[in-house]
A and B are shown apart, each in its own frame.
Chain A
Amino acid sequence: MKYKIALAGNPNSGKTTLFNCLTGSNLYVGNWPGVTVEKKEGNLRDTNKDITLVDLPGIYSLAPYSMDEIVSRNFLLEERPDLIINIIDASNIERNLYLSTQLMELNCPMVGALNMMDVVKKTGVEIDVREMEKIFGYPFIEISAQKETGIDELIKLVEKTLEIKKLKEFPQIFPPEIMTLFNEFDELLQNKYPEILAGYPRLFRVIKLIEKDEEVLLKIHNNSDLLEDIAVVRKKIEVLSKHDVDSAIADYRYRFITAGISQATRKTKENAIQFQEKLDKVLMNRYAALPIFFLFMFVIYYVSITLVGDITIGGIEWFINDVLMVGVAAVLGNLGAADWIIALINDGVIAGVGAVLTFVPQLVVLFIFISILEDSGYMARVAFIMDRIFRHFGLSGKSFIPMVVGLGCSVPGIMATRTLENERERKLTAVLTPFISCGAKMPIYVLMASVFFVQYQTLLVFSLYLVSLTVVFGSGFVLSKTWFKGADSGYLLEIPPLRLPKLRNTATQVWQRTKEFIVRAGTIIFAVSVVLWFLQSFTIGFQMATAPDESILATFGKVIAPVFVPLGFGNWVASVALLTGIAAKEMIISTMSVLSSGQGGSLTQSISQIFTPVSAYSFVIFVLLASPCMAAVATMKKELGNWRDFLFALAYQIGLAYAVSFVVYQVGSRIFV
């Protein structure tokens, strides 16, 4: 027998942490609501049953608001899992149980996992799980997904519950007079509209119709008789509860919960003000909040670029050029390999792949910082601080979260836009996120800075981030009044508690990202480097090229180069590098490295010949702003959905990059002659 089990719960309650622990996966975990945006499957370990576990995006209720929440709702409703593990952040139990009262209406076996018990124990709260089961009608267990306590017991409980054939009735949440109304309406539905939402759980169907849930209304196709019947029940509920229907239903649920937990939980000690709260006060201080944010960003780039770079780059370059290449030449030479083979390996593979790997230590440090930002709870706070500013530019504070994620890589950044409820804001954020420089672009800036702006490395890179922020705001302002015009969706965001980032979590995340970078170096970059080497070693007539200028690549590059003349880098090497950069951004450096070693010079030498300081800055700006890599472009297409918006976005990004670089070069080259 195959089972399918869903992990359902509020955002940020620890579903993915539990999923990783139960299946041995390494999915993305972070301390803000809306980390998971897609459903993910895995096999439950440590059980003799065949169980597929499904991690879902977090939801506050079964009402659909954003794309990721709709995924969860549809899975629970349409795919009908064999069991739901309702994960509850026990340190925020009241609000978390609200969703539970809705899940109870799905007629599906359920197990409650009271997560974060490590935190709860510290605050001196005790939860009586037996009492909870009596009140809510399904078994609970205390766990800590992060400390991995209570996991075996949870698995046992899941196995036991799967074996029970007959589903117990869930308790009634609503008072008898309201239940009578619901039951009457249910009978009316069965008699008068048997075909409407036939497969849905009864109570769920009744309540969603009465609430006039949007998705459900779509399915009844303006059946005016039914709408009238709904209006009649709504009126009755309003009279009975003395509230409007929405607040009445929410209120009954919360009342049931408040009564329940006051019975099942006990506070054993008053908790003192914690360190976290004091820190929070400082971080979010009215005057200090914004400077602190920029200070953080500056420190991140100073440490990862300048400090780490100073220590590591020299050594790695020495190793690649003076040890590896010399060694390869000597060994292969002794073995009697042809010169061209040695050249292929040294000037093609090692130059190309090595140029990228040089930056791994700096990227690791950058990734560590990003991961700490994500795991500490600072993200939601920045969204809170920035909302007021972002609003002026047609976005909400929540748009900032995808952008910070985009500092690592644009692909998850663009996907993170799914948590935005408003379609216009979501698309606009997806178009703007690639303007935030991803980690793979950083090596390019560092390289250029090390040739032309040695003393101002961090400053240069930081200036690029300011340029990208300016472009994000400027574009947001313009696009929200033109292409992506419309109403704003408002802003409502839970602020999670600050948490000390967990070492293991950080380590996994940093490793995942670094691995991806290294794997790319070993695959795409390796392959493209080899191809580039061949293309630059032969002429169109397939003769060995005597000068690189005659090679196939040069001939081809010279066709495109004129396009970039107004931007200051109209030579074929830069053009080819930009083209190969479409595959992966770090390919730009590999390409220049392969091409320069083919020409017998060092990378820095040839860069200083190709560029002037002004054209180098213009080049870097172009790389920063012009369309992202293939993977990010594909993700953008997926998130925008239609070709119209997608082609517009692409044209906009490339056009804007061209325009900004043009201005930078034309103005700059007149000032600094």
Chain B
Amino acid sequence: MFTLKDLRPGQKACVGSIAVEGLMRRKLMDMGVTPGVEIQVNKTAPFGDPIEVRLRGYSLSLRKKDAENILMVQ
């Protein structure tokens, strides 16, 4: 089991399930973070957080706190 947070810049994997709670969960889905979608991590911010990822042809940034609740599969 690994999460989006475990990916290093340049690596990609597919979303398995999303264990984020509350409004953020629905927002993530609206932004296209749904089960099965492929996500690549682009970079980490200067202070180590947040991270920038690429999915569905665009770039999205989110905090590690949320990334560690997005479970990934190969």
Q: Which of chain A's residues 227-278 have a Cβ closer than 8 Å to chain B?
A: 243, 246-247, 250-251, 254
For the complex, is A388 an interface residue (Cβ under 8 Å from B)?
yes
Report the bound CA distance from A513 to B43 in whole Å. Answer: 36
In the bound complex, do residue A388 and residue B31 qualify as a contact, i.e. CB atoms below 8 Å apart? no
- In order of increasing CB-CB distance, the 10 nearest A-B pairs are A388-B47, A250-B29, A61-B30, A495-B59, A94-B56, A92-B58, A251-B34, A289-B46, A490-B24, A60-B30
In the bound complex, do residue B32 and residue A494 qualify as a contact, i.e. CB atoms below 8 Å apart? no
Contacts known (A287-B46, A385-B45, A387-B45); A254 close to B34, Cβ less than 8 A: yes
| Residues on B with beta carbons closer than 8 Å to the beta carbon of A61 | 30
For the complex, is B25 an interface residue (Cβ under 8 Å from A)?
yes
In the bound complex, do residue B47 and residue A98 qualify as a contact, i.e. CB atoms below 8 Å apart? no
For the complex, is B68 an interface residue (Cβ under 8 Å from A)?
no
Count class of interface residues, chain A: 35 or more
Report the bound CA distance from A246 to B26 in whole Å. Answer: 7
Looking at the complex, which one of A98, A287, A492 makes contact with B61 (CB distance below 8 Å)?
A492
Count class of interface residues, chain B: 35 or more
In the bound complex, do residue A494 and residue B31 qualify as a contact, i.e. CB atoms below 8 Å apart? yes
For the complex, is A290 an interface residue (Cβ under 8 Å from B)?
yes
- In the complex, how many angstroms separate the beta carbon of B41 from the nearest chain A beta carbon? 13
In the bound complex, do residue A98 and residue B59 qualify as a contact, i.e. CB atoms below 8 Å apart? no
- In the complex, how many angstroms separate the beta carbon of A95 from the nearest chain B beta carbon? 5
For the complex, is A647 an interface residue (Cβ under 8 Å from B)?
no
- In the complex, how many angstroms separate the beta carbon of B67 from the nearest chain A beta carbon? 11
Q: Which of chain A's residues 83-124 have a Cβ closer than 8 Å to chain B?
A: 91-95, 98
A284-318 to B contact mask, C-beta < 8 Å, 1/0: 11110110000000000000000000000000000
| Residues on A with beta carbons closer than 8 Å to the beta carbon of B60 | 492-495
For the complex, is B57 an interface residue (Cβ under 8 Å from A)?
yes
- In the complex, how many angstroms separate the beta carbon of B52 from the nearest chain A beta carbon? 6
B17-56 to A contact mask, C-beta < 8 Å, 1/0: 1100001111111111011110000011111111010001
B56-73 to A contact mask, C-beta < 8 Å, 1/0: 111111110110000000
In the bound complex, do residue B23 and residue A243 qualify as a contact, i.e. CB atoms below 8 Å apart? no
Report the bound CA distance from A284 to B47 in whole Å. Answer: 11
| Residues on B with beta carbons closer than 8 Å to the beta carbon of A397 | 50
| Residues on A with beta carbons closer than 8 Å to the beta carbon of B36 | 251
Query: Which partner residue on chain A sits nearest B15 by CB separation?
Result: A247
Looking at the complex, which one of B32, B46, B62 makes contact with A95 (CB distance below 8 Å)?
B32
In the bound complex, do residue B45 and residue A384 qualify as a contact, i.e. CB atoms below 8 Å apart? yes
| Residues on B with beta carbons closer than 8 Å to the beta carbon of A289 | 45-46
Looking at the complex, which one of B37, B52, B66 makes contact with A495 (CB distance below 8 Å)?
B52
In the bound complex, do residue B26 and residue A251 qualify as a contact, i.e. CB atoms below 8 Å apart? no
For the complex, is A519 an interface residue (Cβ under 8 Å from B)?
no
